[in-house]
Every structure is written in structure tokens, then in C-alpha cells.
């Protein structure tokens, strides 16, 4: 596996962990009925993904 492939694999693993944390946090907010906070977290998460995708070549 080349260095770029290893880096890509590592990014996917980190993204997977980040996604799992995101899902757990969202589930807790739903259980706590904090819908405003849930919405704001979703917006922040999507914005962070857009920032990453626009900075990559």
C-alpha cells in the first residue's frame, strides 16, 4: 500500500470514529429532547464536512 493510500485509509478510520461519536451525541440529544441543539450540531457537522471537501484538491 502506498503512502497516499495509507493516509486515505487513516482518514476514513478517523472519519468513521468521528461519525460514530456524532451518532451517539445525536441520539443523546434526542433522548434529552434538545431539538434546537440537535439542529445546531447537525449544521456544524455538515459545515465542517463542506470545509474539508472544499480544501482538498
Question: Which of helix, strand or coil describes residue 1?
Answer: coil
pLDDT at 5: 56
Reported as a pLDDT band with limits 50, 70 and 90, residue 19 is confident
pLDDT at 4: 55
Q: What is the pLDDT of residues 28-57, one digit of tens each?
A: 988 999 999 988 888 888 888 787 665 555
Handedness of CA 22, 23, 28, 33 (dihedral sign): positive
Question: Which of helix, strand or coil describes residue 41?
Answer: helix
Dump strand ranges (E) for 1-57: none
pLDDT at 16: 79
Question: Model pTM?
Answer: 0.49
Nearest to 41 by CA among 57, 23, 55: 23
pLDDT at 57: 57
Amino acid at each position: 500500500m502506498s503512502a497516499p493510500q495509507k493516509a486515505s485509509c487513516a482518514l476514513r478510520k478517523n472519519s468513521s470514529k468521528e461519525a460514530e461519536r456524532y451518532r451517539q451525541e445525536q441520539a443523546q440529544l434526542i433522548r434529552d429532547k434538545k431539538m434546537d441543539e440537535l439542529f445546531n450540531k447537525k449544521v456544524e457537522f455538515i459545515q465542517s464536512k463542506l470545509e474539508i471537501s472544499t480544501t482538498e484538491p
